[in-house]
Chain A
Amino acid sequence: MNTFGAVVTTVDDAEGHPVIELDDVSKSYPGGVAALRSVDMVVDYGELLAIVGPSGSGKSTMLNLIGTLDRPSTGTVRIDGYDVASLSDRQLSALRSRRVGFVFQHFHLAAGRDALGNVADGLLYSGASKRDREQRAEAALVRVGLSERLTHRPYQLSGGERQRVALARAVAGDPPLLLADEPTGNLDSVSGAGVMRLLHELHEAGTTILVITHDREIADSLPRQVRMRDGQVV
Chain B
Amino acid sequence: MSTDKKWAMVIDLQKCIGCDACTVACKAENRTPPGVTYNIVITEERGTFPNVTKVHLPRPCMQCDQPPCVQVCPVKATYKLENGITAIDYDRCIGCRYCMTSCPYGARYFDFGLDYSQEMVGYNEVQAPEYGIDRGKRENGKSPIGNVRKCTFCYHRLQRGEEPACVEVCPGDARYFGDLNDPESVVSKLAASPRVFVLKEEMGTKPRVIYLK
A and B physically associate: no
Task: Mark A residues whose CB is within 8 Å of B.
Answer: none
Task: Mark B residues whose CB is within 8 Å of A.
Answer: none
